[in-house]
Homo-oligomer: A and B are copies of this chain.
Amino acid sequence: MTCRNEERHTVARPTIEDIARRVGVSKGAVSFALNGRPGVSEATRARILKAAEEMNWRPHTAARALGGARAGAVGLVIARPARTLGVEPFFAQLLSGLQAGLSAQSVALELLVVEDTEAEIEVYRRWASEHRVDGFIMVDLQVKDPRVEIVESLDVPAVVLGGPGRHGSLPSVWADDREAMLSIVDYLAALGHRRIAHVAGLPAFQHTQRRMRALRDSARRLGLADVVSLPTDFSDAEGATTTRMLLSRPGRPTAIVYDSDLMAVAGLGVAAEMGVAVPGELSIVAFDDSVLTRIVHPALTALSRDTFALGTEVAEVLLGIIGDPGLRRDHRTPTPRLVVRESTGAPPLAG
């Protein structure tokens, strides 16, 4: 007598063995049927699927993983102080996109925030050796990145978000930061700006370096003498102090480009506090777009990219190489587009 009544006794989860017994076939046949692989007739397959459905069967992931199969999850480890992460709309958007891409194959995302790269590497080691995940997503590619070699040696599929270049044999998904920075500078120069400052991110990050180089090259090409990049740690605090410093020195810039939307908003706050009119006396551009740039007043001109789509693409690439480790290749995503809002305009005449 099966105790199907849901009084209080939760019915034990059915296994493929239960299904096999009920349908009158072997465990193996059930496994074939449920996984859509040859070895059973269509008639039997249908009966098995029907029984599985009726009994509300679900695979036991641990059992699957044990057989050497997939873990059904991929890992994302982020090495940033929790506070910084807290307000980066970028990551949240990326996360959503990743999950959208992963859930198509009902793969879960295992997320961990750690303090530094060392801890991050330790997590890669642990998760790989525990078979907890089928692959990794690596973000914040560094200039000389110790993670690349280690993840390669772990022999676990992985995708790097960022590049191009310097990520070893790992495939990457990247957007052209250089091209994007050039478009910003061209736009500002066309408005008449000649003193442009760049409040950059962590100099250890590859994309920071690439943006700084692009700005320098661009300045040379356009003959702008007074152009400077100042590194920060991406925090609102450093974004604010750097802005304050820039605005209080003589011959202050007429335009500032921020490497993140958060720092741009912080910079806008400083300008308001110091009584510097935006965009009258100062133009502000954010190198990243999100709700943040739109809710402040004036709304910020920003480099907009579809972070959600970026996440989806990363997920797809990773699932691809998990399925077939052969197809490692880099994927270039559309170059971010500059969305002009209210924070940019011609420089003051005196400038």
- A interface residue numbers (CB < 8 A to B): 3, 6, 8, 10, 13, 56, 58-66, 71, 73, 82-83, 85-89, 91-93, 95-97, 99-100, 103, 108-113, 126, 129-132, 153, 155, 236, 240, 262, 265-266, 268-270, 272-273, 290-292, 294-297, 299, 308, 325
Contacts and interface: CB of A to CB of B under 8 A. Distances in A.
A109 B108 contact: no
Contact of A108 (B13, B61, B132, B291): B132
14 contacts: A8-B153, A58-B129, A58-B130, A60-B131, A63-B66, A82-B96, A86-B89, A95-B113, A108-B112, A109-B110, A240-B295, A269-B297, A269-B299, A296-B296
A236 B291 contact: yes
Contacts of A82: 92-93, 96-97, 100, 308
A273 B297 contact: yes
B296 A269 contact: yes
A111 B113 contact: no
A119 B10 CA distance: 22
A189 to B, nearest CB: 28
A126 B273 contact: no
Contacts of A132: 61, 108
Contact of A85 (B92, B109, B292, B297): B92
